[in-house]
């Protein structure tokens, strides 16, 4: 159930992010990279937010601590995902090939 919600939220937020980037005249390769990173961040955030309290409960730690932990983890993971996705889509051979197939590079 959480995975379906994560995917739905990922699509909604990514579409909004895509239109915002287009409205501000961001070049299309960067728009695709940011939109893809945004989708990865939202999906991972929802999934991690659902799993972390359960994991803490198994470890016999108060699950209420998950709220502050998830904020720190997602701050770090968000930056890492943005860098990795942007690197793959903008600086790798795979990314260049993908963008060329989409007639964006």
Question: Number of helices and strands (H, E) in the chain?
Answer: 4, 0
Distance CA 9, CA 71 (A): 18
Q: Cβ–Cβ contacts within 10 Å for residue 33, how many?
A: 23
pTM here is 0.85
Name the DSSP class of 31: H
pLDDT tier for residue 68 given thresholds of 50, 70 and 90 = confident
pLDDT at residue number 62:
86
Is it the case that residue 105 has pLDDT exceeding 80?
Answer: no
The residue to which tokens 């943005």 are assigned:
82
Percent of the chain with pLDDT over 70: 99
Distance CA 104, CA 72 (A): 35
- pLDDT class of 22 with cuts at 50, 70, 90: very high
**Tokens (6 digits) for 77:** 């993971």
């Amino acid at each position: 159930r959480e995975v379906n919600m994560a995917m739905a939220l990922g699509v909604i937020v990514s579409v909004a992010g895509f239109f915002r980037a287009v409205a501000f005249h961001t070049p299309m390769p960067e728009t695709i990279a940011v939109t893809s990173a945004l989708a990865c961040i939202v999906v991972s955030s929802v999934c991690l937010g659902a799993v972390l309290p359960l994991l803490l409960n198994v470890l016999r730690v108060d699950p209420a601590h998950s709220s502050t932990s998830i904020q720190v983890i997602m701050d770090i993971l968000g930056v890492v995902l943005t860098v990795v996705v942007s690197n793959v889509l903008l600086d790798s051979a795979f990314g260049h090939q993908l963008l060329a197939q989409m007639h964006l590079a």
